[in-house]
Structure 1
């Protein structure tokens, strides 16, 4: 359902950059000032329709300093903001069109607003615009797990060529090693799997440590209809664990 939400121009090979055209004209509007922060001194996010799942994800990323601070460390030059550009022949004069790493720019902007502005909630419209979302997509409640995976993929692509190109891998990727021992030949087989999230069973688990232990440290016995096909035993089915 979310597969195309981060595709620009309707294509799957987007480079996650967009065109910003400098302009000297600005539209002046008079708006009611936003309400200040309450006693919690925290800033929320305005709901665009059904974006509570996105708001929760953004708040999680904001309060992960290992992600937030490297993102803030990217300079205007890193992001191809004016007066810098991807083409050496371009200048920063009025009307110059520059390619910008838009998702990163808008994440920086939104994080800064949520940390510094004295208001109860900030708007995420500029961020969702940078995703390439249409207005109707903000009214569809999506799966936050799938959104997280696609957003990380979009951020990873947007960071290519910068000093933080491995940010997602460094912060959120890991590896599990699965060992299987054939009971017939006693050979141990190892399989490495990369992950960005860990599936956990919460029902009947008193705490996180117990759930992790049940998922990753308890031996599984491969017997009966669930035998292991051992390559060292001529691909025959064998008991294993």
Structure 2
């Protein structure tokens, strides 16, 4: 299962650029304790082995600082000069603002650039564990010579003498900085890795992340390519053509790709490109538009098949026999992050049962106010599950949106079809995600479409991390093996998926096989290589009988193209190049 985990807005929101100004107070003498230093060469050069350097800044008489901006002494990291910039009274907010600044930015040569990862910590001098730390990264240049945090911590906490951040009117700030090799993304050549990026129009990095994610879903990319367009269409006014053009350039271009045509097809102007939009909302709107464009074409229903899952909201009365249920579809799931150690804990919180009692009793039409349980049960998950992590929440004390920085490990070693005795989360998600009623192929096996159907099934089984059950890599454990129960459960799940992806008259012939591996092999023997002559004859006849009728050229081409590929398979034809394949047909 492919997980797409977009953030609601890009990191640029908490790493705010502060324009450089000469009309500020200069550096003041104070204690500087840089732990490591390197050479003094300030030219743009790669840093082969970046090391973290720590700089400690003791700010005395902190509460008496009357200037708006205050700089630290200059310190050297990676051969470059840096300094810390703080706003003691906040940068137009009631919060301490703090930034890392390139100290000599005005004297550096044209086109300079340097990339650094850094963190700031305001030390709690009473209890170190309560120290406030934030970290980020940035590529500094002449236009963005300082970068950091406008909302580092509330001023009320900082100036409270009982909190421990100001002791004897002294504030201690620590900065950890590591300088890394600068990558020139504008002239980057795809021959390095086989991939290219998307150019940022101003504040479109959130959109670029979404587009890259969608591009790397093969089924989505193929569906976009199959959307019908005409030679008279203008990419700037046609989302389908603009997206086709963008994906084609991502696939074949050697350098980074521009997105202006696509955003113009959205109806955006220059101002829209410099505004942060919600990536989840953009994803939904884009998919809705594409779904409309795909209606009546060969790729109709692709968006729904790829991204739509279903869950059931229920309310169950405890003391009377009454239950209310409502089935709903979803294209993405919004998961809580705060207080959750991993994605399974987030899912546990999502399906957590709420008790309706006391003043919050459930009112049923038949029985009146009743104690009840309210919750959510998943019916099925889509092949591509999009998870929206709720990284931002409203802070009533600060009257602003704050970022939740809790870590959310991906747990790649477990799929949602997995179960574990080690915790409720894995077990519950396994039971909910392992739905035996799923059809894992968009088309059912009818005896004439083995290649397409088997390929689709294999992709879904791979996505669920259950591939070993059809390759027999994971053999049936012995009767004394504690994993036998888990093996039988997963094997039965894959068997059910395979049966659901066959026409009923075909699945009946395999019902008495005992393992998913046996079904996979016998179906392949029955419909793949055995009886090639009959298959070839049937395929040639279907190619001959295929007519365009009222189909568009794109729709008509897809049918014989699929048949030709199956013919290549059954005739054991291996084309050395596309031209050979066309000539052979």
Contact 2:198 2:259 in 1 (8 A): yes
TM-score (norm 2): 0.30
Structure 1 partner of 2:287: 152
Contact 1:174 1:194 in 2 (8 A): yes
In the TM superposition, residue 148 of structure 1 has moved relative to its aligned partner by: 1.4
Q: How does 1:17-96 map to 2 (within 5 A)?
A: 34-37=187-190, 39-74=192-227, 78-79=228-229, 81-82=230-231
Q: Are 2:307 and 1:175 equivalent residues in the alignment?
A: no
Aligned residues: 187
- Distance in 2 (CA, whole Å) between partners of 1:68 and 1:197 is 19
Match of 1:192 among 307, 327, 342: 327
- Distance in 1 (CA, whole Å) between partners of 2:194 and 2:187 is 14
Deviation string for 1:106-156 (max 9, x for gaps)? Answer: 11111111122111x100111111112112211111111111121122212
In the TM superposition, residue 98 of structure 1 has moved relative to its aligned partner by: 5.7
Q: Which runs of 5+ in 2 are unaligned?
A: 1-185, 374-585
Contact 2:234 2:241 in 1 (8 A): no
Contact 1:185 1:232 in 2 (8 A): no
Runs of 4+, deviation exceeding 6 Å: none
Q: Are 2:339 and 1:204 equivalent residues in the alignment?
A: yes
Structure 2 partner of 1:227: 361
Q: Are 2:370 and 1:238 equivalent residues in the alignment?
A: yes
- Distance in 2 (CA, whole Å) between partners of 1:130 and 1:98 is 11
- Distance in 1 (CA, whole Å) between partners of 2:234 and 2:196 is 31
Provide the secondary structure at the position in 1 that maps to 2:261: helix
- Distance in 2 (CA, whole Å) between partners of 1:99 and 1:118 is 24
- Distance in 2 (CA, whole Å) between partners of 1:48 and 1:219 is 45
Change in 2 beyond 3 A, CA 1:38/1:204 = farther
Structure 2 partner of 1:22: none
- Distance in 2 (CA, whole Å) between partners of 1:72 and 1:134 is 26
Structure 2 partner of 1:112: 248
- Distance in 2 (CA, whole Å) between partners of 1:54 and 1:99 is 21
Change in 2 beyond 3 A, CA 1:37/1:166 = same
TM-score (norm 1): 0.70
- Distance in 2 (CA, whole Å) between partners of 1:165 and 1:239 is 45
Provide the secondary structure at the position in 1 that maps to 2:281: helix
- Distance in 1 (CA, whole Å) between partners of 2:346 and 2:192 is 35
- Distance in 2 (CA, whole Å) between partners of 1:40 and 1:98 is 33
Root-mean-square deviation (CA, aligned residues, Å) is 2.2
- Distance in 1 (CA, whole Å) between partners of 2:257 and 2:295 is 28
- Distance in 2 (CA, whole Å) between partners of 1:40 and 1:228 is 58
RCO higher in 1 or 2 (8 Å CA, sep ≥ 6)? Answer: 1
Contact 2:188 2:196 in 1 (8 A): no
Change in 2 beyond 3 A, CA 1:98/1:232 = same
Structure 2 partner of 1:102: 238
User: Hey, which of these two has a bigger chunk of strand by percent?
Assistant: 2
- Distance in 2 (CA, whole Å) between partners of 1:172 and 1:202 is 22
Provide the secondary structure at the position in 2 that maps to 1:221: strand
In the TM superposition, residue 38 of structure 1 has moved relative to its aligned partner by: 6.5
- Distance in 2 (CA, whole Å) between partners of 1:205 and 1:46 is 35
In the TM superposition, residue 59 of structure 1 has moved relative to its aligned partner by: 0.9
Structure 2 partner of 1:164: 299
Provide the secondary structure at the position in 2 that maps to 1:42: coil
Provide the secondary structure at the position in 2 that maps to 1:147: helix
Contact 2:318 2:372 in 1 (8 A): yes
Contact 1:230 1:238 in 2 (8 A): yes
Change in 2 beyond 3 A, CA 1:98/1:199 = closer
Provide the secondary structure at the position in 1 that maps to 2:300: coil
- Distance in 1 (CA, whole Å) between partners of 2:358 and 2:204 is 47
Provide the secondary structure at the position in 2 that maps to 1:68: helix
Structure 1 partner of 2:266: 131
